[in-house]
Structure 1
């Protein structure tokens, strides 16, 4: 009999686990006690956020998390009840000494509970109390010197503070809390009502109003903290050009991140001031600032030479012409142009292809840019090549099979690809093949309302996408595939893919799904509203995508219990499942789901006429980790049910 291999040292096991994703480590920890003990190492817990609700069931988990020395925790459903107080006490005893990040967002925590928890958190680096209006409503938070001294001692090393969406935040409470955080680097006041034009103090030095949060008081804090502050978030506030100019001109302020989402009173003048006074910005988020134009983009391109992330989503007045200069920013890695309807990508491509371009984008979001076509995708794919990791082309309605071939051929390093609502994509695109010319429409002349593709595609070996006479998918047969000559690369070439969205790509069928959706590392897949797929597709996906955690199959009406039961036996890591509007699925499938998918947390079975309320309640009882069940209009009844 062969001698058993000696146990590996804990240090070696820990080193091995450090290369695995969170879900992989979870599975590996079940190998043996030694592997389980190694998985609890603090260094492996840093990026894991544990979400706990203020319930009796959570009390059993808290002591276990204490042994893990978990550094990140989110508490929800806190209020003044006895159960909430017990949870707070248990967290303070077992978890608080190890916590580095704590979120109490949108809870109804009271001042008493807050003071029972925070002084015990001596190692906090990040605190999120956004939306905790019950904590600030009385206006007495930290009003006692003893309480303030205890909190100040605990938050001495705090770096990030989130005070967003607070209706009752005033100068008085803000000053008390800010005075306890001498090392603060990032502050969020998103969604807070800030008095901009009106000065409640009429030029005096008093800044202790219990009724308003004033811009003058915030400027005073920024001036005092300028040497430390690195990031500010004023999203969804009424901040004006003059207010922003005063803010960025504060002496000694050197920001690295600035978030200004949906600031409706913001114009190009404010962006020019930001670029002139804060040239060291690495992150700038201007999403939804609808008054901005191309002038802002040009100012960013010419001044912010250290910029890494730029978000211009929903800034619909910018045009192609202003984007060309962005290619000259050498550090730019992420660009969001979603819902910029005048963008076709042509000028951006010219900038990226120019000799002076140094940018290597890792993330590009062109979602809902309806002017983007195959020509743009082809050029970008060739230029960006191995650098691009995430590409979002959702609702780019002129995207066809040609683009899919280009993506598969040139963007081999993609980890996330979103092609939802690109309805011209067919099986041939995913398979990397050219469609036979028979049974297809004759080519038409390009009209004003049709996409204008480059004529050079013919010389490069590309082909036009098939156009079906009845606008329905043509089922690809074995003889079709044998007769077709491969002229592109199939989707399966994207071996690094972890997220794929083909939502509402209605011309796809089992033929391409079963042969191309075979990604070992795929964690998120959306095939919602791909109505032609059957049980064959879901069974194939389950067998070849064993790492799946999130699966969306809404409105896939041909799926039945047979396919779902066959698939569930392989989807051991599934945490989120959406099978809403799948009428052929019954309680029998849910029974197997509760037995096979032990990690399931979220389930959506809305408008599934084959399911019953009794079946839903049963799976909730059998599945303790299942915390969210959406069952709206179940069984055809006008019923909204969230368990």
Structure 2
């Protein structure tokens, strides 16, 4: 087959792709986009072949190609002058290849996540940055300092997005490195230590930021955050997750200055009092996404937030003060809601869920895990949400196979289902699920009452990729083996460790190209034993292995 006209190839997770395969790819002279994510066997030699043969490349992703180093990256930079997007995440590269990379005249998007060997000495040798660069991601690069950043960003006048999460402290000097980038719109500082002087300097930047993430930053205070939002009143997205020092004073500043916010994430801001959430609903009515997980929000706050009619995603996990009354207002006021997280909202009952199901017909995801007052009535209400794709009801003892059957009948687009610890769900619920949920990709039914019969029924779902099966007392090793044989598309199975010694499971693992993880016991932390190395045993010879396994199953069944 002649592949010379191919312009795009995605070989991500092709774990057996080697340099010989790369040499074959090099014959695609017109190739423009190439993904080689996690191709861990390809080396500088293979990448060199691609660099020489595919001169028209505009995008190449080498993330987790652990055998590719400075030589391979340097060859790409020297031979493929049309490169626009380059992902070198987690490669063992050093200072040697950076000058060549930054001389690419058309480079717009550079990703250097987790490049642990790039240090200050490597960056100080650079006299000029990349003028065309628009997006730079250097998160998880622990050896970078503000001085190194000043060299790599030197001359990058077009820079729009910058990510240095889990990097150097955000000091006054670091903030000054970026103060004159007039096109800068988005910056992520997740996990960084921030100083008040650094935050003040960010507030004085000439650029008007549209997106800012301070998630899990230590050092964020009311004073510093107020200075930032007052200086960047055009903010659309703000993430202050786990900024545990801020109080209502910060919310006052945010709601007064940034009234055009479309996304606000503030999980676990534990010092913010319930009254502050009323302000959010009053002043930020353009919100489309709101995450207030593990906060003090109550029904009055929800009633106010229900004014945000454009809201599509609302996360309220572990908000212990909210009740059906507040949730009902959301159902009435937020008809565009597609995602709601009510994890461990212990006061929510069927009344609240029914209000959401009735008022939000486009709902795609709902999490009611450990809402122990939820029953089959909630599932019957949710079965009217025809676009529902993800349902998490683990730890809801009031639901049974009756409610699950209603979901299977009504929600034909369901792809993710978590029914762990729903003890009243049994084989009766699995049969309609197998019949009507043909898009299901992931299911967790640990601690349920499902037996071999129910598992075998699920095996008929061709789209099923990920199964978690822990502590199913009605499951036998023979039934499990038969189900694994029947599941053609499985990619990951999680089982209890004792099954690793139960025949015919050990042999079957060598025949099924799935990653099988065994739960190592009841004592925390859990240990997982990855048997994915068995994939190689019968690679390219699967039919013979399947036939042998079938014969083996016949012997055991007798």
CA distances 1:266-285 after superposition (whole Å, capped 9, x unpaired): 22322222231253222211
Contact map agreement 1:195 1:215 (CA 8 A) in 2: no
Q: What SS does the corresponding residue of 1:313 show, helix, strand or coil?
A: coil
Q: Which of these residues, 350, 357, 361, is aligned with residue 287 of structure 2? A: 361
Separation in structure 1 between the aligned mates of residue 267 and residue 311 of structure 2, nearest angstrom: 17
The change in CA–CA distance for 1:429 and 1:351 in structure 2 (over 3 A counts) is closer
Q: What SS does the corresponding residue of 2:459 show, helix, strand or coil?
A: helix
Separation in structure 2 between the aligned mates of residue 507 and residue 220 of structure 1, nearest angstrom: 58
Contact map agreement 2:95 2:121 (CA 8 A) in 1: no
Contact map agreement 1:185 1:230 (CA 8 A) in 2: no
Q: Does 1:175 align with 2:99?
A: yes
Spell out the pairing of 1:533-548 with structure 2 (5 A cutoff).
Answer: 533-548=399-414
The equivalent of 2:138 in structure 1 is: none
The equivalent of 2:302 in structure 1 is: 377
Separation in structure 1 between the aligned mates of residue 297 and residue 389 of structure 2, nearest angstrom: 28
Q: Does 1:336 align with 2:265?
A: yes
The equivalent of 1:296 in structure 2 is: 224
Contact map agreement 1:231 1:258 (CA 8 A) in 2: yes
Q: Which runs of 5+ in 2 are unaligned?
A: 130-141, 502-518, 521-527, 533-558
Q: What SS does the corresponding residue of 1:228 show, helix, strand or coil?
A: coil
Separation in structure 2 between the aligned mates of residue 415 and residue 512 of structure 1, nearest angstrom: 17
Q: What SS does the corresponding residue of 2:496 show, helix, strand or coil?
A: coil
The equivalent of 1:272 in structure 2 is: 200
Q: Does 1:531 align with 2:397?
A: yes
Q: What TM-score, normalized by structure 2, do the two folds share? A: 0.79
- Counting matched residue pairs gives 494
The equivalent of 2:330 in structure 1 is: 407
Q: Does 1:84 align with 2:15?
A: no
CA distances 1:124-150 after superposition (whole Å, capped 9, x unpaired): 5554434444323xx434556xx6431
| Offset at residue 567 of structure 1 (A) | 2.0
The equivalent of 1:567 in structure 2 is: 433
The equivalent of 1:604 in structure 2 is: 468
Separation in structure 1 between the aligned mates of residue 286 and residue 240 of structure 2, nearest angstrom: 18
The change in CA–CA distance for 1:124 and 1:335 in structure 2 (over 3 A counts) is farther
Contact map agreement 2:27 2:54 (CA 8 A) in 1: no
Q: Does 1:140 align with 2:64?
A: no
| Offset at residue 387 of structure 1 (A) | 1.2
Q: Which runs of 5+ in 1 are unaligned?
A: 1-62, 432-488
CA distances 1:286-343 after superposition (whole Å, capped 9, x unpaired): 1110211112321232111332211111111111221123233244211100121122
The equivalent of 1:129 in structure 2 is: 62
Q: Does 1:589 align with 2:461?
A: no
The change in CA–CA distance for 1:243 and 1:148 in structure 2 (over 3 A counts) is same
The change in CA–CA distance for 1:142 and 1:508 in structure 2 (over 3 A counts) is closer
Separation in structure 1 between the aligned mates of residue 324 and residue 263 of structure 2, nearest angstrom: 26
CA distances 1:440-466 after superposition (whole Å, capped 9, x unpaired): xxxxxxxxxxxxxxxxxxxxxxxxxxx
| Offset at residue 351 of structure 1 (A) | 5.5
The equivalent of 1:221 in structure 2 is: 152
The equivalent of 2:554 in structure 1 is: none
Q: Does 1:110 align with 2:43?
A: yes
The change in CA–CA distance for 1:496 and 1:233 in structure 2 (over 3 A counts) is same
The change in CA–CA distance for 1:572 and 1:175 in structure 2 (over 3 A counts) is same
The change in CA–CA distance for 1:236 and 1:121 in structure 2 (over 3 A counts) is farther
Q: What SS does the corresponding residue of 1:417 show, helix, strand or coil?
A: strand
The equivalent of 2:497 in structure 1 is: 633
Separation in structure 2 between the aligned mates of residue 254 and residue 271 of structure 1, nearest angstrom: 19
The equivalent of 1:42 in structure 2 is: none
The change in CA–CA distance for 1:107 and 1:336 in structure 2 (over 3 A counts) is farther
The equivalent of 1:323 in structure 2 is: 251
Q: What TM-score, normalized by structure 1, do the two folds share? A: 0.69
Contact map agreement 1:495 1:519 (CA 8 A) in 2: yes
The change in CA–CA distance for 1:512 and 1:603 in structure 2 (over 3 A counts) is same
The change in CA–CA distance for 1:98 and 1:547 in structure 2 (over 3 A counts) is farther
Spell out the pairing of 1:491-530 with structure 2 (5 A cutoff).
Answer: 491-530=357-396
The farther-off stretch of 182-191 and 556-565 is: 182-191
Contact map agreement 1:302 1:325 (CA 8 A) in 2: yes
CA distances 1:379-423 after superposition (whole Å, capped 9, x unpaired): 111x21x21111000111112111221111111110111111101
